[in-house]
Structure 1
Amino acid sequence: MAVVAAVAAGVVAAVFGTVLHGQLLYVGGTALPVGALGALVLSASLFLLCGLWARNVMLSAVAGAVAYGVVAMLSTSSKTLILTGTSEVSPGTALAGNLWLFGVLVVTLAAVVGGTVLLRPRRAGI
């Protein structure tokens, strides 16, 4: 059951994050990728929740791997929702796409490390 939940969390994080990551906040002429940051926070939360709920950090890694796989597949489609690389026409959108695509790996590792710290046994008297 926990593996199914981790796979589902990975798919949800990938789909919702892909929809959310393109939201930009313009301050003056600068586009800030607030959607990508929100998508990464959502993903990290789901990945960490999976590991803590099952008391097994490997499920955080499973959720992250599934999410990364789904995001990678979405980014290579002909009707992609994720703009990666560089763009002189739309640098904010390209930055958001790169943050989302590569940030999933970073937040997966952070969720695994965070889960490891939170789930380690505590010694009495400390």
Structure 2
Amino acid sequence: MAHDDAGTSPAGEGRRSSFPLEDGPGRSTAGAAPVSPTRDAADAAPGAVPGRVPSILASVAAGVVAAVFGTLLHGQLLYVGSTAIPIGALGALVLAASLFLLSGLWARTVIQTAVAGAVAYGVVALISTSRKTLILTGASESAPGTALAGNLWLFGVLVVTLGAVVVGSLVLRPVRSARRRT
């Protein structure tokens, strides 16, 4: 067997890649020893994990945005005959779940998903204690459709938070296991 740059191991252990890794335009890391990533290098790289403070601020902002826009949206009803269907509450829950999940995936930690959900629930609870809540939702009188939409929104925030945490943990699980191997 002839000796080449790939080494002598049939399994390829200790081999150098024939294809250089690109580290940007015009730069190559071919033949360079692998360097363990440091926190400074990770912060400078595009797509790096954000720091603790930016991820917390983003989660709080996502929770506040979901709470305010969800509260404004949830009062929209679709009437089919005399039956009110709370499509606004369903749309508000989809909006909230997507913002919670986005904040957790951006921070690459499911804890930030839960933080966004907790902030949203706290803001929704504070808004619901106001005497002017019906003005915010566009409803002027109590009706069964409006009450159903309000209950779906208030308690649905908890459900979509838990759902977003579960989905986020499933999505982020391969990233964590791959990071441990390197």
Structure 1 position 40, deviation (Å): 0.1
Could you list the per-position Cα deviations for residues 4-50 of structure 1 after superposition, in whole angstroms to 9, with x for gaps in the alignment?
00000000000000000000000011000000000000000000001
Question: What is the match of residue 44 of structure 1?
Answer: 97
Question: What is the match of residue 126 of structure 2?
Answer: 73
Q: Distance in 2 between matches of 1:102 and 1:118?
A: 25
Unaligned 5+ runs, structure 2? 1-53
- TM-score by length of structure 1 reads 0.90
Unaligned 5+ runs, structure 1? none
> Is residue 2:173 matched to residue 1:120?
yes
> Is residue 2:127 matched to residue 1:61?
no
Q: Spell out the pairing of 1:1-126 with structure 2 (5 A cutoff).
A: 1-81=54-134, 90-121=143-174
- SS of the residue corresponding to residue 59 of structure 2 reads helix
Question: What is the match of residue 50 of structure 2?
Answer: none
Tell me the number of residue pairs that the alignment of Structure 1 and Structure 2 aligns. Answer: 120
Amino acid at match of 1:103: G
Q: Distance in 2 between matches of 1:41 and 1:20?
A: 11
Amino acid at match of 2:109: N
- Deviation beyond 3 Å, 4+ runs, structure 1: none
- SS of the residue corresponding to residue 174 of structure 2 reads coil
- TM-score by length of structure 2 reads 0.63
Root-mean-square deviation (CA, aligned residues, Å) is 1.9
RCO greater where, 1 or 2, for CA within 8 Å and sep 6 or more? Answer: 1
Q: Distance in 2 between matches of 1:119 and 1:51?
A: 9
- SS of the residue corresponding to residue 79 of structure 2 reads strand
Higher Cα Rg: structure 1 or 2?
2
Q: Looking at secondary structure, tell me which structure has more helix per residue.
A: 1
